[in-house]
Each structure stands twice: as structure tokens, then as C-alpha cells.
Amino acid sequence: MEQVLAFPAKWWNEAVTVWLVVAVVIYVVVAVPGLYFIMKYRFKPGEREIGDHEKHGHWGLEALWTIVPTIIVLVLATYSFAIFKKQRTAPPDAMTIKVTGFMWGWQAEYLDEKGNTIKTVVTTFNPTGYEVPDDQKIVVPAGKPVKALLTSLDVIHSFYVMPARITEDMVPGRITHLWFQINKPGEYWIFCREFCGTGHSHMFTKLKVVPPEQFTLWLKGETNLANKSNQIKGNL
Amino acid sequence: MREAISVPYFGASLKEWLFTTDHKKIGILYLSTAYIFFLVAGFFGLIIRFEQTSPGIQLVQPDFYNYLLTGHGAVLLLWWAIASHIGGFGNFLLPLMIGAKDVAFPRLNALSWWAFFGASVLVLLTLIPGNHIKMMWTGYPPYSASGDAGVTALYVFIIHLVGVSSIATAVNFITTYIKMRAPGINFWNTNMFVHCLIAANVIQLVGVPSLAGAVTMLLLDKYLGTNFYNPAKGGDPLLYQNVFWFYSHPVVYVQILPVFGFFSEIVPTFARRPLFGYKSMIFAVWGITLLSFEVWIHHMFVSGVPDWARVIMSYTTILIAVPTGIKIFNWIGTLHGGAIILRSPMLYALGGIFMFLIGGLTGIPNAMVAIDLGISDSLFIVGHFHYVLGMALTLGLFGAIIYWFPKMTGKMYPENLGKVSFWLTFIGANLFYFFQMVVGMLGNPRRYPDYPPIPEWVTLHNIQTVGALILGLGVLVFTIGILKGLFAGEKAPDNPWQSQSLEWQIPSPAPVDNFGEEHPKVEPDYHPYKYGAPPVF
Ligand code: HEM
Ligand SMILES: [Cu+2]
Ligand SMILES: [Cu+2]
């Protein structure tokens, strides 16, 4: 079985696929007859000069194309509602981080069981490039749900975790939230998607997903993670 | 029928233009202003487009980019997508279509135009470097209340002036429709354009005060120290978004409904048969109008509002697809059994309808809240609304300009330039906006002058720029066509399209006094789409 890269992206992808299939089918069902009529019922001098002026409508047809679309959209909305509940409810075993936006960067805080901050990552504004220094990446363990509590120090920003296909605004004076889980270690983009001024397109960082044991080490302050965990494995 | 009088109504002196209360002249003033602003703001769009072609900052610095994008959005929405067809076509056509001498309050109408003119001057003032507005057309606080956002006050006054103009126009048009119809014109034989226009103006009347309130509080916050939106003092930035979108969502129907009107006038004329499902069309228009005020949270699906509000408005939003679909099906139904003539206004209308179909279908994922959480504030949204605004609306307006050109100017728009500009615009716009949606689906945020060099993104941005160039060429050809038609166009017959509708039963260009007497005589079996007889070309 193929491994799922990320949640809630998995459900999001499914929803997009469902929509795309429905949309393409509707497009074909409407556009093909439309184009066909344009070809077939063409004005021809002496032959076809007036259109059918008796038919002003057809209540049966009109009822049909009111009722069927109503059903389709209600089903789609309900399907989306079911996914939305999962997108918005972090699994009970999720770890919590606090992320605060500012012009133009992020501060991510990691908490212990009592809710005290034990480690903080702050990104600095880089107005020209898109490189992220290693100590400014937001590190999370692979395969573990992460709940992010979001707020902002100045204007409204947003927190878009690209591999997880989830965004939520960071609003000053409010705490908003989202959750995600990335199963494959690697580096992924995080962007701000709410307009926040001059540096908006350079408000980004990388999400660094590492195996859980490396994450524990990192929390303790270790920087060279790969090296260190190999060392530990070697010692065992 | 009377002879056309020797001096066409628009051949008036400058003084007459300045003091005019004639609905036709005011309509032309609105339309030409809107068109010029469309060209300028479209040019802004091209610069933005070129900047995005490859990663890195090449053409314009981010602050100037933000000004261009703010101007592009605000001007295209308020001038091109509202003033051109409400102020422009609405003024020109409403009295003619219902057989009236003028609107109900001609002097109030002139006041509307001058308020709008004032707003246009303020927009030009923002071109001065110190006056740039950089907060996007949505102007969210706290950013817009900060010094970084530019001259927020100018933005607020622009909205206020446009708002005064819109409210006065709405009162005027609604009264005109109720009180000034020629005997014999009733609810069930009114042109679709008029139905759509009146519905749009009802939205204006209800909604504009809400937007005006939102920006007034912004003005007070920024310059007089109130704290409506300041969380540090008990205010709430989301208050702005709620009040703002309460109008600014329904406004998209203000923008698109009159275009539905254009489609419904042009398609029957060139299919030579009655509009299919005329009655269900009217129900659909009012259904959309009613629903339009129940959906604003879909602009705030990721803003931090409670989950239950998101779910409710996800349902109401997606339901709008139903009346919208009815309209599309009815246009297609009109084609069935027609005798279709593919003149350029018809090409534009059909192109607009087929693109609106895509605009509608790509609106569904925005309504499905689960999908929106992943695409909110991405270029997918921008691609989607360009399908609606940049294609359905713009193609519809271009078609309408060609279609009513004879009645406005007494000249024909050159048919060959109409066809060439259609194909260029249509192909270019599709290349551009389709791939804008694709790159948005891949995650590219909107309002980004710069982005990381992700290979697929770069390719997709390159294609978009090629599309935008072709699109720009199409608009250029269309504009040349307007000038050529004006100065060297063929003389127009009174009813070049052999339409049944009232505005075509008078000379071209429309005489100063419309129908001569108070009202034209309307036959008891009059219907604007009664295409029984073969056209004589
Ligand atoms: C002349 C052809 C056009 C071009 C080249 C163009 C180009 C663009 C580009 C590149 C963006 C920026 C996307 C982003 O990064 O956020 C944009 C945004 C936008 N466009 Fe256009 N566009 C055109 C026509 C139109 C039309 C006809 C309308 C409306 C009637 C329109 C309304 C908007 C709006 C409302 C925005 C969003 C502004 C914002 O994010 O605040 N555009 N356009
Ligand atoms: Cu930001
Ligand atoms: Cu931002």
C-alpha cells in the first residue's frame, strides 16, 4: 500500500479529485450539446432563417435542471462537511506547538507536558532569497500529529503548511488553530498567504520533518541530528 | 418611424456635455471613463504579470508592486466591473428598453455621475508617488491602519464617492423601473437586462452602506484614534472583514448579473428565437439576489471565525450554483432549434457563457469548505475569479459594446476586428487564467511578487505570461476597433440586428428625445424576444 504523505492533505486530495470528476462531467454534459447546437442550428439563407419561435421553455426540463443540480451540490457540501470535521479536529495524541506571526517571520514555541515553552525557533526576514538557515526551520517529528496554535503580533498573517494543504489566518488578539501530520521525513515549504505588506512574499520558512528519535534529540538542543542519532544507534 | 434628426444626440457642445442630465450622455460618460480606466488597470495587470514570470524581483520593487495590484483590483472591480454596465449601459439602455423619456430623477443622475467623476480624480491622485495605496483592494486592518499601507484616507474617500454615486443610481433606476414604464411594459415582458439591472441595484441599495460603514470605521481608527479594529483596545479586526464582505460578496452579483443580461439579449437575437425559460430566468435572478447576502463567510473560511459559521455558509454558497446553473442551461436551451448567426457580438456572448461555465465549476471548490482550507488565498482563487471577471464579464462587455455601438454612435463596429479581437482575447485569457489556477492548486500564494524557484511553478508562470501577452494584443485590437468604428465606421441602420426590443425601434443613433413623445406605443402582444419573422439583412 502506498504510504500517505500527509494529513489532512490525504482527504483534501480526495475531495479535489471528487470535485474535479464532477466538474469535468458537468462541463462535458453542458458544453458538448451547446457546441453541437451551435454547429447544427446555423442560420442558412433560404433554408433556415427563423428559429423555433413556439418553444418558450419546458417546465419538465427546467425542473430537472433545478432539482438534479440541487441534489449534486448538497451531496458535495455534505461530503465536504464530513472532511472539514476531520480537518479541524486534531487527533487526541497530537503534540502542540505555538506559532506567532510578525512582519515578516515566525516564532515557533515547543511546549512540555505542563505547557511551558522549552524551545523556540525564530525566523529572520530574508527579503531577497528563499534559503532557510538550519536553525530557523520548524522541526516536527514524522508520523506524529501536530496541533499549531496561531496568533500574530502585528497584522493578520496566515500559516500555510504546504504539504498538508491546510491554512489558517494568524489574527492579533485571537488564537486560531490547525493541525497536520507529515509521515515522510524531509523539508517542506511553509508560506504566509494573507497579505501582510512589503515582505509578504518573503514570509516563508521550511518545515523540517525528522524521525521521532531525532526530534527528541533536537528538542534537547542537539544540532547535528543525523550524526548524533547514527552515533546512538552505533552505541546500541 | 421618424427621421433621424440631423445632429446626433452626442454631437452636442462641450457645455451641453458638462451640464447634461440626458441619460444617454451620462451613460456614454460612464462607459468611456470605465473603458479608459480598464485599459490603465489592465496595463497594471500586465506589469504584475511580467513581474511574476520568473522568480526574483525584476521589474518593480514589492511596495510599488503592491500599489499596482491594489490599483488593478480596485479599479477593475469598481470601474470596469460595476460602472461600465450599471452607470454605462444601465443609463443608456434602461429608459430605452422600458419606453421612457429619461430616468426618474435626471438631475440626481447627473449628481451620480459627478460623484463618480470625483472618485475617478481621486484614483488619478493615487498615481503620485507619495499617495500610493498599498493595502490591496480588500484593505484589511490592522495592516491598512498602519503607516505602511499608504494613504488609506484616499481609499476611504474613493469608496465613499463611488458609494454615493451607486446609491443615488440605485434609487434612481429602481424608481424609474417602477414608475416610468411605457403602458404595456410589465414584469413579464421586460428585457432580461432590465431585470438583472434592477436586481443588481437592489443589492447596491442594501449593501453599499455596509461597505461605507466598514471603511468609515477604518478612517476613524487610523486618523482619529478610535479602536473599532484594534485588538489591544478591545476592538476586533474580524469586524472589518464581516462588514466588508457583507457587501463585497454580493457585489460580485452586482458585477455579473447585468452581464447575464447582456447574454440574454444577445443570444436570442442571434439565435432568432425567444429566450428559453424566460420565467425561470427571472426567478433565478431574484434567487441569486436573495442568497447573495447569506454567503459572505466564504471569504473568511480560514480567518478564524467559528467552525459552525463556516459550515452554514458553505451550504448557502454552494446553493447559489443552482440558480446560476439554470441560467446557463437556459442559454444553451435557447441555442437549440435556433437559426444561429455567428456575428461578433454573438461570438463574444457564447465565449463568455462557456467561460462562465468554467468560472462556476471552479467556484464549487471554494464553496466546499474542506477544499477551501487548502486553496484559500492561493492563485487558484485569482484564476477562478478571472474566469468570471476577466472572461465572462469582460467578453460579455465587449460583446455588448459591439452590439449597442450602432445605437450609441450611429456607426457600426468593424466586424473583422470584432472577430480577430475575440479569438485573441479568448485564447490568451484561457492560457493565462487556466494555468493561474493550476499553479494555485499546487500551492502558490496570491499577492506574491516573488516566489521560490520551484521548477513546475516557474514553467506555469511562463505560460501565463505568454497568455497575457496574447490577451493584451486582443484588447488592443478591440480598442482599435472602437476608434475605427467611431471615426471611419459604416453608417448604422436603425435596427442592424433585427431585434424586437424597444431600443432598436428608434433611429440610430438614438435621438435626443428617445421616442419623441412621452412613451412609444407598445403592442399588446409585445415581447422583446419575439423573433417570429426572418431577419432582412
Ligand atoms: C487585462 C488583463 C488582466 C491581467 C493581465 C490581469 C492580471 C492579474 C494579476 C497578475 C493578478 C495578481 C495575482 C496575484 O498575484 O495575486 C491579478 C489580480 C486581480 N485581478 Fe486581474 N488581470 C486582468 C484582468 C482583470 C479583470 C478584467 C478584472 C476584473 C474585472 C481583474 C480583477 C482582478 C482582481 C480583483 C485581482 C485581485 C487583486 C488582489 O489580490 O487584491 N483582472 N490580475
Ligand atoms: Cu504574513
Ligand atoms: Cu503575508
Ligand 1 binding pocket includes B167 (Cβ within 6 Å): no
Q: Is residue B315 part of a domain?
A: yes
Tell me the nearest-neighbour CA distance from B401 into chain A, angstroms: 22
Please give the mean pLDDT across all residues of chain B. 93
- The residue nearest atom 41 of ligand 1, judged by CA position, is B136
The beta-carbon neighbor of B339 closest among A50, A167, A169 is A50
Give the chain A residue nearest B367 (alpha carbons): A77
Which of B312, B322, B456, B500 should be substituted to probe chain A, the one whose Cβ sees the most A Cβ atoms within 10 Å?
B322
Mean pLDDT of A37-64: 84
Cα→Cα distances B357→A38, B351, B353, B437, B446, Å? 16, 10, 6, 15, 23
Average pLDDT estimate for B191-220: 96
Could you report the per-residue pLDDT of B322-338, keeping only the tens digit for each?
Answer: 999 999 999 999 999 88
Does residue B1 lie within any of the structural domains? no
Q: For chain B, what is the radius of gyration of the CA atoms?
A: 23
- The CA distance from B393 to B429, in Å, is 12
Q: pTM of whole model > 0.90?
A: yes
Looking at residue A230, its pLDDT comes to 55
Check pLDDT > 90 for residue B532.
no
What residues form DSSP beta bridges with A141?
A210
SS3 (DSSP) at A57: coil
Helix, strand and coil content of chain B, in percent to the nearest 5, comes to 70, 0, 30
What is the pLDDT averaged over residues B208-233? Answer: 94
Find out whether B508 and B493 touch, Cβ atoms under 8 Å. Answer: yes
pLDDT at A182 over 60: yes
Q: Is the CB of B439 under 6 A from ligand 1?
A: no
How far apart are the CA of A152 and the centre of ligand 3, in A? 11
Please name the helix (run of DSSP H) or strand (run of DSSP E) that holds residue A167, with its range, or none.
strand A166-170
pLDDT tens across B65-104, in order? Answer: 999 999 999 999 999 999 999 999 999 999 999 999 999 9
B278 to A77, A221, B47, B283, B529: CA distances (angstroms): 29, 72, 43, 9, 9
Residue with cell 493584451: B472
| Distance (Å, whole) CA B273 – CA B531 | 5
Nearest of A81, A90, A83, A85 to residue A180 by alpha carbon: A90
**Any ligand 1 atom below 6 A from CB of B46:** yes
Asked which of A5-19, A34-48, A221-235, B71-85 is least confident by mean pLDDT, the reply is: A221-235
Q: Is residue B312 part of a domain?
A: yes
Contacts of A21 in chain B (CB under 8 A): none
d(CA B343, CA B263): 14
Residues B216-237 have a mean pLDDT of 93
Is the pLDDT at B4 greater than 80? The verdict is no
Inter-chain residue contact B370 with A80, CB threshold 8 Å: yes
Question: What is the mean predicted confidence (pLDDT) over B255-281?
Answer: 94
Domain that holds residue B393: 18-504
Cα A142 to Cα A6: distance, rounded to the nearest angstrom: 10
pLDDT band of B1, cuts 50, 70, 90? very low
Residue B62's identity, in one-letter code, is: P
Residue B116 forms part of a structural domain: yes
**Could you read off the pLDDT of B284-321 as tens digits, one per residue?**
999 999 999 989 999 999 999 999 999 999 999 999 99
Tens-place pLDDT, residues A108-149: 999 888 888 889 999 999 999 999 999 999 999 999 999 999
Report the nearest-CA residue for atom 24 of ligand 1: B390
Does residue A231 have a pLDDT over 70? Answer: no
For range B16-37, the mean pLDDT: 93
CA B146 – CA B140 distance, rounded (Å): 10
Task: Encode pLDDT of A80-113 as tens digits.
Answer: 999 999 999 999 999 999 999 999 999 999 988 8
Closest chain B residue by Cα to residue A175? B304
Largest pairwise CA distance in chain B: 72
Q: Which of residues A236 and B24 earns the better pLDDT score?
A: B24
> What pLDDT, on the 0 to 100 scale, is given for residue B3?
42
pLDDT at B381 over 50: yes
Residue of chain A whose Cα is closest to the Cα of B354: A31
Confidence (pLDDT) at B2: 42
**B459 falls within a domain:** yes
Q: What is the DSSP string of B428-495?
A: HHHHHHHHHHHHHHTTPBSS-S-----HHHHHHHHHHHHHHHHHHHHHHHHHHHHHHHHHHPPBPPSS
**Ligand 1 proximity of B428 Cβ (cutoff 6 Å):** no
Q: Residue B449: CB within 6 Å of ligand 1?
A: no
- Does the beta carbon of B183 lie under 8 angstroms from any beta carbon of chain A? no
Closest ligand 1 atom to residue B255 Cα is: 30
What CATH number does residue B80 fall under?
Answer: 1.20.210.10
pLDDT tens digits along B413-452: 999 999 999 999 999 999 999 999 999 999 999 999 999 9
Cα separation, B428 vs B198, in Å, equals: 33
**Contact (CB, 8 A) for B259 and B81:** no
Sheet bearing A95-102, strands edge to edge = A6-7, A176-182, A146-152, A95-102, A105-111, A117-122
As to burial, measured by CB atoms within 10 angstroms (0-12 exposed, 13-18 middle, 19+ buried), residue B146 is middle
**Is B34 near ligand 1, meaning CB less than 6 Å away?**
no
Q: How far is the CA of B460 from the centre of ligand 2 (A)?
A: 24
Angstrom distance (rounded) from CA A195 to CA A190: 15
Please name the member of A26, A62, A162 whose beta carbon is closest to the beta carbon of B443: A162
ipTM: 0.92
pLDDT of residue B69: 97
The mean pLDDT of B184-209, rounded to a whole number, is: 95
Structurally, chain B folds into a number of domains equal to 1
Instruction: Provide the pLDDT for residue A62.
Output: 87
pLDDT (tens digit per residue) in B460-490: 999 999 999 999 999 999 999 999 999 999 9
Per the CB < 8 A criterion, the answer to whether B421 and B483 are in contact is no
- Which residue puts its alpha carbon closest to atom 17 of ligand 1? B45
pLDDT value for B120: 96
Query: Is B451 contained in some domain?
Result: yes
**Predicted local distance difference test score (pLDDT) of residue B5:** 42
pLDDT greater than 50 at residue B6: no
Asked if B324 and B288 count as a contact pair (C-beta separation under 8 A), the reply is yes
Cβ(B530) – ligand 1 distance below 6 Å: no
Spell out which residues of chain B touch residue A149, defining contact as CB-CB under 8 Å: none
| Residue of B36, B50, B59, B69 to mutate, ligand 1, most atoms within 8 A of C-beta | B69
